[in-house]
Structure 1
Amino acid sequence: MARAAVLHQVGDKELDLRDDVTTVDPGPDQVKVQIKATGVCHSDLSTMTGVLPSVPPTVIGHEGSGVVVEAGEHVTHVQPGDHVVINWTPDCGACPECLRGEPYLCMTFIAQAFSDPAFRLGDGTPAFGMAGVGTWAEEVVVPRQGVIKIAEDVPFEYAALLGCGIPTGVGAVVNTAKVKPGSKVAVVGAGGVGLSVIQGARIAGASTILAIDPNEAKHPIAKRFGATHTATLDGLDETKGLLTGGAGFDYTFEVVGKAAAITTAWNATRRGGDVIVVGAGAADDEWSQSAFGLLFDGKALKASLYGGCDLKRDVPMFVDLWRAGRLDLDGLITRRIRFEDLNDAVQALTNGDVIRQVVLFD
Structure 2
Amino acid sequence: MNISIPNEFNAAVLTKTNEALEIKSIKTPKLDAGHVLVKIKQAGLCRSQLMEARGHRGEDKYLPHLLGHEGVGQVIATGPDVNKVKVGERVILGWLKGSGIDTGGMVFSSVSGEQINAGPVTTFSEYTVVSENRVTPCPDDITDDMAVLLGCALPTGAGIVLNQAKPTPDDTVVLVGLGGIGLSALLMLLHFQPKTIVVIDANPNKIALAKSLGATHGFELDDNLQNTLSELFPIGFDIAIECAGQTSSIELAFELINNSGRCIFASHPPNGEKIQLDPHALICGKRIEGSWGGGSNPDTDLVKIGRILQNMTLPTELFVSHRYSLTDINNAFDDLERGAVVRAMIEFE
Confirm or deny a common fold (TM above 0.5): yes
Question: What secondary structure, in the 3-state scheme, does the structure 1 residue paired with 2:259 have?
Answer: strand
Deviation at 1:93, TM superposition (A): 7.7
- Which of 197, 200, 203 is equivalent to 2:185? 197
**CA–CA distance in structure 2, aligned partners of residues 128 and 183 of structure 1:** 46
**CA–CA distance in structure 2, aligned partners of residues 154 and 17 of structure 1:** 30
**Matched letter for residue 56 of structure 1:** L
Question: What secondary structure, in the 3-state scheme, does the structure 1 residue paired with 2:72 have?
Answer: strand
Identity, % of aligned positions:
30
Structure 1 position 236 matched with structure 2 position 225? yes
**CA–CA distance in structure 2, aligned partners of residues 226 and 242 of structure 1:** 22
Q: Does structure 2 retain, via aligned residues, the 8 Å contact 1:322–1:329?
A: no
Deviation at 1:318, TM superposition (A): 1.9
**Matched letter for residue 341 of structure 2:** V
- Which of 133, 141, 144 is equivalent to 2:132? 144
Give per-residue Cα distances to partners, 1:47-101, cap 9 Å, x unaligned.
112233641111121111100001123122211110000121324689xxxxxxx
- Which of 64, 70, 88 is equivalent to 1:63? 70
- Which of 101, 110, 126 is equivalent to 1:121? 110
Higher helix share: 1
Equivalent residues in 2 for 1:15-26, closer than 5 Å: 15-18=21-24, 20-26=25-31
Q: Does structure 1 retain, via aligned residues, the 8 Å contact 2:98–2:298?
A: no
- Which of 56, 69, 85 is equivalent to 1:78? 85
**CA–CA distance in structure 2, aligned partners of residues 295 and 326 of structure 1:** 42
Question: What secondary structure, in the 3-state scheme, does the structure 1 residue paired with 2:84 have?
Answer: coil
Q: Does structure 2 retain, via aligned residues, the 8 Å contact 1:161–1:329?
A: no
Aligned to 2:56: 51
Structure 2 CA distance for partners of 1:311 and 1:330, relative to 1, 3 Å: farther
- Which of 257, 261, 266 is equivalent to 2:254? 266
Q: Which has the higher mean CA deviation after the structures are superposed, 51-60 or 1-10?
A: 51-60
Q: Does structure 2 retain, via aligned residues, the 8 Å contact 1:333–1:356?
A: yes
Q: Does structure 2 retain, via aligned residues, the 8 Å contact 1:25–1:141?
A: no
Deviation at 1:125, TM superposition (A): 1.6
Structure 1 position 10 matched with structure 2 position 10? no
Give per-residue Cα distances to partners, 1:110-163, cap 9 Å, x unaligned.
xx32xx32x22222222122x532200111111211110012353322211110
Q: Does structure 1 retain, via aligned residues, the 8 Å contact 2:34–2:100?
A: no
Q: Does structure 2 retain, via aligned residues, the 8 Å contact 1:22–1:121?
A: yes
Equivalent residues in 2 for 1:213-292, closer than 5 Å: 213-234=201-222, 236-237=225-226, 239-241=228-230, 243-244=232-233, 246-292=234-280
Question: What secondary structure, in the 3-state scheme, does the structure 2 residue paired with 1:132 have?
Answer: coil
**CA–CA distance in structure 2, aligned partners of residues 206 and 327 of structure 1:** 19
**Matched letter for residue 74 of structure 2:** V
Equivalent residues in 2 for 1:68-217, closer than 5 Å: 68-91=75-98, 112-113=104-105, 116-117=106-107, 119-129=108-118, 131-217=119-205
Aligned to 1:340: 327
Deviation at 1:24, TM superposition (A): 3.0
Structure 2 CA distance for partners of 1:145 and 1:327, relative to 1, 3 Å: farther
**Matched letter for residue 194 of structure 2:** A
Q: Does structure 2 retain, via aligned residues, the 8 Å contact 1:322–1:328?
A: no
**CA–CA distance in structure 1, aligned partners of residues 232 and 155 of structure 2:** 28
Q: Does structure 1 retain, via aligned residues, the 8 Å contact 2:100–2:132?
A: no
**CA–CA distance in structure 2, aligned partners of residues 144 and 339 of structure 1:** 24
Deviation at 1:329, TM superposition (A): 5.8
Q: Does structure 1 retain, via aligned residues, the 8 Å contact 2:260–2:287?
A: yes
- Which of 338, 345, 348 is equivalent to 1:358? 345
Q: TM-score, normalised on structure 2? A: 0.91
Question: What secondary structure, in the 3-state scheme, does the structure 2 residue paired with 1:27 have?
Answer: coil
Structure 1 position 34 matched with structure 2 position 21? no
Aligned to 2:4: none
Deviation at 1:45, TM superposition (A): 0.6
Unaligned ranges ≥5, structure 2:
1-7
**CA–CA distance in structure 2, aligned partners of residues 284 and 319 of structure 1:** 35
Q: Which has the higher mean CA deviation after the structures are superposed, 51-60 or 182-191?
A: 51-60
Question: What secondary structure, in the 3-state scheme, does the structure 1 residue paired with 2:178 have?
Answer: coil
Q: CA RMSD in A?
A: 2.1
